[in-house]
Structure 1
Amino acid sequence: MSIAVVGSNMVDLISYITRMPAEGETVEAPDFRMGCGGKGANQAVTCSRLGSTVTMVTRVGNDLFADTTIRNFEDNGISTAHVLRTEATSGVAPIFVDPDSKNSIIIVKGANAHLSPSDVDAAREDIARCSLIMLQLEVPLETVYHTIELGNELGIPVLLNPAPASPELRLDRIPGAEFVMPNETELSLLSGMPVEDREDVEKAAQVLLASGIRNVIVTLGSKGALWVHEGGSTMVDAHRVDAVDTTGAGDAFIGCFAHTWVETGDIERSMRTARLYAADSVTRHGTQSSYAQGEEFRARFAEQLAEV
């Protein structure tokens, strides 16, 4: 099972706060942690920990954060042949987590903004051996469009997570994507439609299907996820847990979905497995540090996985 991830990496700077400060105010935070993140890297690490062979196409800076990121990829068994150093700062993500485990995130793209179509072309031979290509929007849109075109040319399914939301993303440049996986906010921005309830979400997802996308899977946080396709829709409820930190849960869901779909070809089963993996991740602090290894995850949820 080989997966190519063309996307971002970040260093997460996580502050656990009691409340956000008002303008001009300084408040004390009870805890701070630093870890590796970025939507592309998060999804790549999830896939690798679950057992996929992963090729990462990304750019790091020329600072100490770059060394940390590269070492993290290597420690997680991810190929770094196409992790390119750049005369720029590495990407960073200051994250603020409140007592209810809700988070607010700022991203500074840094070197990620320099990932180019030519970088993707340089990795073409390795990408061509993969069964799925994964993309997000923390790298330039032209690189995203070019990678989708390459996937279509090579006959490799593409999964696009249109996050963070971008009003500049053009639906006419992403036809043929096997999966587009937005959250509610991203779906509303892409479709130009409200998403107040399930009926709204289905109507908005139909706009994406009409543009040539084959499957739309909308992540709904604590409500679960909704798969909308030409034949109808399927809702998968979330697995209930006591959350302590929801940072990176969406990436955990998408990465687990990708790994399981490549393994089984079963979309609903992949969603049901991914909801368990994402739920497990929010019971621990941090982003990638909250992602379970495959054997650990399968042992912890053996009973539930037998039923998916």
Structure 2
Amino acid sequence: MTIKPRVELCVAGLVYFEVFVPGGVVPPPGEEVFVPSLRLGLGGGLNTASVAAALGLDVVLAHPRGEGLADSAIAHKTQQLGIPTLNWAAQPNPAVSLVFSGLQDRSFVSAADFGALALCPDLPEARWIHVPGLLEARHLAEPLARARATGARISVSGSWAPDELAALSTLTDQPWDLLILNDKEAAFAADDPKLAPDRLQGAARNVVVTLGPDGAFGRLDGAWVSADAVPVAAVDFTGAGDAFCAGLLASLVIGVTGDAALSHGCRVAARLLTQAGGVVDDPATLADLKGIT
């Protein structure tokens, strides 16, 4: 697909092929357990990109792609959603996850070819570039720095990467414009989630912490901001954090900041909690959340 000369958002990182394992299903060695179904999905960077596109942003998804079965599924889905992509070579199926579902959260067993990110070409010109993980941000450091030098703003969301989280407090040169962590990640990186917006300003001038059912808080443009979560009956927690990032960035792209930007992120995240999976297949799902209200 043709990429516009300057897009509103480029999401850069890995796209995962996901297999969802029902909670509590662990067969003993040598045995096989049959379940009613095993849900398959796609995630990683495609979560944020699909939500942002459904919110009306011009989006490009930049990710490595091989020649495997998972790669074919990802290519089909991005074409189906009408999301332009920038791809470069990787081993077949460069990112695959087993997702184990719990009552309140999920756990993962994943394989990812982070080394393929080192081959990333220059990223498309964009107002914002979002990277959905700290390991990905480290491997994309050079293309991100080049993009920032041309005027792009860089957003990075956390992930459970203990070494990368521990290193956040040692950064001093603000390589990113926005850092988004959940409360567990913020506690690990800054000892206390409430201290993260101040203690992690060496990583990014703007730091936001999400609190699940308790909303979000942080600093944007030097001001303390907060927002309440939207109560919903959650169907699936997959992709809610990615959806929050997309909603927040959709606000920032059009110049809305402060509490209103965080509130919009919370509303978008709440909507994703009511569906299975983190990819928005039908843009009508978020039609009423386009723009800031």
User: TM-score, normalising length from structure 2?
Assistant: 0.85
Matched with 1:114 is: 116
Per-residue deviation at 1:147? 3.5
Unaligned runs of 5+ in 2: 1-6
SS of the residue 2:148 aligns to: helix
Amino acid at match of 2:107: S
Quick one: which amino acid aligns to residue 297 of structure 1?
Answer: L
Structure 1: segments with no counterpart, 5+ residues:
196-200
Q: Distance in 1 between matches of 2:258 and 2:78?
A: 27
**Do residues 297 (structure 1) and 286 (structure 2) align?**
yes
The answer to which of 6-15 and 173-182 deviates more is 173-182
2:142 corresponds to: 146
Residue 205 of structure 1 corresponds to 197
What CA RMSD, in Å, does the superposition of the two structures yield over aligned residues? 2.7
Give % identity: 22
Partner Cα separation in structure 1 for residue 56 and residue 220 of structure 2: 28
Shift of 1:185: 2.0
Secondary structure at the aligned position of 2:18 is classed as strand
Distance 2:14 2:173 in 1: 19
**Conserved? CA contact 2:120–2:140, under 8 Å:** no
User: Per the alignment, in what secondary structure is the counterpart of residue 238 of structure 2?
Assistant: coil
Equivalent residue pairs, number? 283
Distance 1:77 1:97 in 2: 30
Return the alpha-carbon distance in structure 2 between the equivalents of residues 239 and 132 of structure 1.
Answer: 26
Structure ranking higher in strand proportion: 2
Matched, 1:67 2:72: yes
Question: Is the CA contact 2:232–2:274 (under 8 Å) kept in the aligned structure 1?
Answer: yes
Higher helix share: 1
CA contact 1:50–1:293 (8 Å) conserved in 2: no
* Distance in 2 of aligned mates of 1:59 and 1:139: 15
What amino acid is the match of 2:200?
L
Whether the 8 Å CA contact 2:243–2:268 is kept in 1: the answer is yes
Aligned residue number for residue 83 of structure 1: 87
What does 1:243-262 correspond to in 2, within 5 Å? Answer: 243-262=234-253
> Are the aligned partners of 2:89 and 2:116 in contact in 1 as well (CA < 8 Å)?
no
Compute the TM-score of the two structures, normalised by the length of structure 1: 0.81
Retained in 2: the 8 A contact 1:4–1:56? Answer: yes
**Residue 206 of structure 2 aligns to which amino acid in structure 1?**
N
Which residue matches 2:4? Answer: none
Superimposed CA distance per residue, residues 171-217 of structure 1 (whole angstroms, 9 cap, x where no aligned partner): 437614221001122223333x1x3xxxxx232321112x1621111
